[in-house]
Amino acid sequence: MTAVRPETLLADILQRRSLVGLGEIHWCPQVMIEITALLENPALEGTFDDIVVEFGSARHQAWLDRYIGGEDMEETGLEAVWQDTLYFLLWSPPVYADFFRRLRALNLKRSLDRRVRVVLAEPALDWETLNDDAFARWHEARERAYAERVEQEVLDRGRRAVLVFGLRHLTHHSLPGAPYSPLAELLVKREPGIIELIHPYHGEKGVFSGDHPSLDVRHNGLMIPAAESSGGPAMIDHIWYLGDLERRIALPDALFADTTWLATIVARLQRLGEHHLARARKMMTAPQRAIFDDWLVHHHDGFGTGPTA
């Protein structure tokens, strides 16, 4: 089994494909840190034009183009990029904001013709009017919307891109029982062979990489070909072995000291209803829940009914 350096494999793929998908594992910051460092690698300069990300709203594309392009912008505008998304709590860990900052810093070191654009994949939505029914409709339509963004912003312009999305969006085939086709499968329907997929190996997520329970630790940090799944063709093309990955679902403590952020999430979750309130509370530690529940009691706006056990 041949193992190669990540930057070598990406450069090779981008010589023969328009797209490469890098799977990201939510609540596992090490993966996003490694992805960001890989995309900064000097060996990849000029091999791709765009990075398309799941963790940003197209509502702020024009602002982000200026920011990533190196213009002098207020840093506060960056928060809205990920906070105005459907699953904004997922993007609360600082690795996502750091990604944007580091890509901006990278571009400032490069000539204009070598600068990378970051494309925000989630279509613009209005949180001021969003309710539970509208949330569900956006959720069901998101794979097709992601594909349309990639088509319009990358493929129709003859550009090359790296796609950074959660693992479930980057599989060649739908998982059993899935109600819709994933992003990568939709893109391949447009043009067969247009994308190759790379997933970091994680024991909990091993189903996507052919279940390799005993990967050789000497491959740490390298990429290897994916084995075919037992039930048919491989779901992905390559595995990125990063060693033991710790996945912990917990929001950053610093957010709960930010009264503006608290007011925003309380209003949004109250508008969406009890189911969303309960899911959000499961992402919180006990001290965080105490702060959150206090806000629900003392800053009630009529949309919800208070804490959910």
Per-residue pLDDT tens digits for 290-305 = 999 999 888 755 443 3
User: In which band, very low, low, confident or very high, does the pLDDT at 230 lie, cut at 50, 70 and 90?
Assistant: low
In CATH terms, the fold of domain 6-240 is Rossmann fold (3.40.50)
User: In which band, very low, low, confident or very high, does the pLDDT at 306 lie, cut at 50, 70 and 90?
Assistant: very low
Residues 181 and 143 sit within 8 Å (Cβ to Cβ): yes
Per-residue pLDDT tens digits for 101-116 = 999 999 999 999 999 9
Per-residue pLDDT at 206 exceeds 70? no
**200-235 as b/e, with b when 16 or more CB fall inside 10 Å?**
bbbeebeebbbebeebeeebeebbbbbeebeeeebb
Domain-by-domain residue ranges, the chain? 6-240, 253-298
Quick one: what percent of the chain has pLDDT higher than 70? 89
Q: Which pLDDT score, from 0 to 100, does residue 204 have?
A: 67
Q: Which pLDDT score, from 0 to 100, does residue 209 have?
A: 57
**Which of 79, 165, 88, 76 has the alpha carbon at shortest distance from 130?**
88
Once rounded to an integer, what is the mean pLDDT over residues 263-280? 93
pLDDT-wise least confident of 117-131, 226-240, 286-300:
226-240
More confident of the two residues 152 and 246: 152
Indicate the pairing of strand 223-225 with strand 238-240: antiparallel
Beta bridge partners of 195: 19
Q: Which pLDDT score, from 0 to 100, does residue 24 have?
A: 96
For residues 130 and 218, what is the distance between their CA atoms, to the nearest angstrom? Answer: 49
Q: Which pLDDT score, from 0 to 100, does residue 217 have?
A: 56
Q: Which pLDDT score, from 0 to 100, does residue 214 have?
A: 53
E strand or H helix at 20, and its extent? Answer: strand 19-24
Name the pTM for this structure: 0.93
